[in-house]
Chains A and B, each alone.
Chain A
Amino acid sequence: GENVEQHPSTLSVQEGDSAVIKCTYSDSASNYFPWYKQELGKGPQLIIDIRSNVGEKKDQRIAVTLNKTAKHFSLHITETQPEDSAVYFCAAITYYDKVIFGPGTSLSVIP
């Protein structure tokens, strides 16, 4: 069936360094790609998203890139801070609203 792969599953970086998380999707009907941050005991929170007609989007320290041909999209966090520590999920959503999440990446930022 359709799926979303996400790598790495865990990521540990020093404060101030960059973190990159990569996702690959299989359903070519996917046209919307959000990224969520989930802190312990809370629901996922949307941090950035990108649509299929855009290649890159930035919001302060966070950026997302999309390569539709290769079906890859990535999250880039620069100048990481301890409060960035959380589980990050990518998702691929089709034009008919089917939602598939990646398995998640646990990011630890070491002070």
Chain B
Amino acid sequence: DSGVTQTPKHLITATGQRVTLRCSPRSGDLSVYWYQQSLDQGLQFLIQYYNGEERAKGNILERFSAQQFPDLHSELNLSSLELGDSALYFCASSAGLTGGEQYFGPGTRLTVT
């Protein structure tokens, strides 16, 4: 158990809908990272937050957004969902900024029908 929690575990929704994925980092960790894992794209870095502020951006679509709240939990919002958004979404946390050991959560499996 990494200490990172993600909810829900599974999510099934229809195209065009909007969903919110939630992540609680390990106690004391200030950084939260979001990743998308699909069969054909591997692990893609989406975005990182550090202590409530956006720190780094990867291949995140404009339809996706994230935020980190004062209690350090984070949410990833996916809107106007397409079939191609079906994937595993992982959250990871680390203590600080650059080059920190990241601990991954168990993931949320999103299926868009």
Chain A residues near B (Cβ < 8 Å): 31-32, 34, 36, 42-46, 49, 51, 89, 91, 93, 95-104
Contact = CB atoms under 8 A, between A and B. Distances in A.
Contact of A97 (B42, B43, B44, B55): B55
Given A43-B107, A89-B43, A99 B58 contact: yes
9 contacts: A43-B105, A43-B106, A43-B107, A46-B101, A49-B101, A97-B98, A99-B33, A99-B48, A99-B56
Given A32-B98, A43-B106, A46-B102, A98 B43 contact: no
Contacts of A51: 99
Given A96-B56, A103-B42, 7 more contacts: A44-B43, A44-B92, A45-B104, A89-B42, A95-B98, A99-B56, A104-B42
Interface residues of B, number: 24
A98 B45 contact: yes
Interface string B86-110: 0000101000011101111111000
